[in-house]
């Protein structure tokens, strides 16, 4: 009982550190996940889009807002950026962004970047970064959130004030090592096959048996499976009509005022049960006779 009380007291102390001191480092992974989801739920954010991430600042593990957080907040609270006012002060570019919400409340925040020594594309990126910083900061402010924004964290990280915690980094797993014959045999509770020149000490029932890794033999006498090439024609089957013959067949059917169903029915009467684009070459003349039996719209030309 005393152990349960001590554990409960430790958990309460950890929760107090989070709620009062804003330090998430004392929580376990599942507890941080629950806290993360609780924050998202209270703000109406989708946790699957990763609206927050972690940063170590002043010895504390904290959450900071990512782009998805401010974008969703603007939509949820109907926040509109009403004005963006850029100005240059010395080597600094300063942007003041103003916003309003659906209740008529207005707010403004400032974003600033250092432009000293920048030119060309680097200068353009700095100007866009400054505007983005101002917009995101005013969004968090008007929605009542005092946490850091992604652009602010990037500046703190560059200055060495904040560090990226290990939990934010993900590495792909290393390649799975190849399974040896010894491991396969052990998995099947069988002694491995002897190497060349070694005596075979396996039971008589296992001597001469096929190894477990050998593929099953393919059945004999089965018909070969047909497949389609890039043009959609069946490889190994009878060649179909050419593009020129397809166009000729289409033109004649339209000249005869035949619908697609009528063309299909006419082909079926002469034993051609396929799409008109897949008519076999050897049946091309039969197909022409089927749709134009009086030779009104075509001449009897060889199929080539």
Predicted local distance difference test score (pLDDT) of residue 142: 93
What does the pLDDT average to over 119-147?
Answer: 91
Q: Given a cut of 50, is residue 74 above it in pLDDT?
A: yes
Token output for 28: 């376990």
Indicate the range of 40-44, 82-86, 121-125, 295-299 predicted with least confidence. 295-299
What does the pLDDT average to over 4-18?
Answer: 61
CA distance 96 to 85: 5
Predicted local distance difference test score (pLDDT) of residue 31: 84
How far is CA 221 from each of CA 134, 218, 224, 238, rounded to the nearest angstrom? 73, 10, 9, 22
Predicted local distance difference test score (pLDDT) of residue 235: 44
User: Which among 136, 148, 142 has a CA at the least distance from the CA of 62?
Assistant: 148
Q: Given a cut of 80, is residue 237 above it in pLDDT?
A: no
What does the pLDDT average to over 21-49?
Answer: 86
Whole-number percent of the chain with pLDDT over 90? 23
- Collect all residues with Cβ–Cβ distance below 8 Å to 115 and sequence separation of at least 6: 88, 91, 92, 93, 123, 126, 127
User: Which among 64, 29, 40 has a CA at the least distance from the CA of 162?
Assistant: 64
Q: CATH 3.30.160: which residues of the chain?
A: 79-142
Predicted local distance difference test score (pLDDT) of residue 231: 43
Question: What's the pLDDT band for 172 if we cut at 50, 70, 90?
Answer: very low
Ranges 62-66, 154-158, 226-230, most confident: 62-66
The phi and psi torsions of 159 (rounded to 5 degrees) equal -85, -5
Indicate the range of 13-22, 165-174, 270-279, 293-302 predicted with least confidence. 165-174
Alpha-helical (H) ranges within 94-149 are 120-142
Q: Give the full edge-to-edge strand order of the sheet including 92-100.
A: 80-89, 92-100, 106-114
Q: Given a cut of 60, is residue 177 above it in pLDDT?
A: no
More confident residue, 172 or 164: 164
User: 256, 292 in Cβ contact below 8 A?
Assistant: yes
Q: Given a cut of 70, is residue 175 above it in pLDDT?
A: no
User: 63, 52 in Cβ contact below 8 A?
Assistant: yes
Q: Which helix (H) or strand (E) holds 157?
A: helix 150-158
Question: What's the pLDDT band for 131 if we cut at 50, 70, 90?
Answer: very high
The class of domain 79-142 in CATH terms is alpha beta
Indicate the range of 68-72, 209-213, 239-243 predicted with least confidence. 209-213
Instruction: Share the mean pLDDT of the chain.
Output: 76
What does the pLDDT average to over 266-289?
Answer: 85
Q: Given a cut of 60, is residue 216 above it in pLDDT?
A: no
pLDDT in tens, 283-299: 888 888 888 877 665 55
Indicate the range of 13-17, 65-69, 90-94, 147-151 predicted with least confidence. 13-17
User: 111, 128 in Cβ contact below 8 A?
Assistant: no
What does the pLDDT average to over 259-287?
Answer: 85
Question: What's the pLDDT band for 223 if we cut at 50, 70, 90?
Answer: very low
To the nearest 10 degrees (0 to 180), the angle between helices 284-291 and 243-255 is 10
Q: Given a cut of 80, is residue 120 above it in pLDDT?
A: yes
């Amino acid at each position: 009982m005393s152990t349960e009380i001590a554990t409960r007291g430790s958990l309460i102390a950890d929760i107090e550190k989070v709620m009062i001191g804003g330090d998430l480092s004392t929580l376990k992974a599942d507890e941080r996940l629950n806290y993360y989801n609780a924050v998202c739920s209270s703000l109406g954010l989708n946790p699957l889009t990763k609206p927050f991430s972690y940063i170590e600042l002043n010895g504390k593990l904290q959450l900071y807002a990512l782009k998805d957080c401010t974008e969703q907040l603007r939509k949820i609270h109907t926040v509109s950026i009403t004005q963006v006012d850029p100005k240059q002060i010395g080597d600094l570019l300063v942007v003041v962004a103003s916003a309003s919400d659906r209740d008529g409340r207005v707010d403004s925040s400032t974003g600033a970047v250092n432009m000293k020594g920048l030119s060309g594309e680097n200068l353009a990126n700095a100007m866009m970064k400054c505007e983005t910083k101002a917009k995101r900061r005013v969004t968090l402010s008007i929605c009542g959130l005092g946490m850091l924004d992604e652009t602010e964290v990037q500046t703190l990280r560059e200055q060495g004030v904040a560090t990226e915690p290990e939990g934010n980094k993900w590495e792909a797993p290393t390649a799975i090592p190849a399974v040896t014959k010894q491991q396969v045999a052990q998995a099947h509770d069988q002694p491995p096959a002897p190497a060349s020149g070694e005596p075979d000490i396996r039971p008589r029932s296992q001597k001469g048996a096929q190894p477990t890794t050998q593929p099953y033999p393919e059945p004999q006498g089965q018909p070969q499976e047909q497949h389609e090439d890039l043009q959609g024609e069946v490889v190994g089957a009878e060649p179909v009509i050419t593009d020129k013959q397809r166009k000729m067949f289409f033109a004649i059917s339209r000249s005869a005022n035949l619908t697609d169903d009528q063309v299909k029915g006419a082909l079926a009467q002469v034993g051609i049960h396929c799409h008109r684009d897949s008519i076999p070459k050897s049946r091309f003349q039969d197909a022409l006779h089927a749709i134009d039996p009086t030779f009104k719209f075509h001449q009897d030309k060889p199929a080539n």
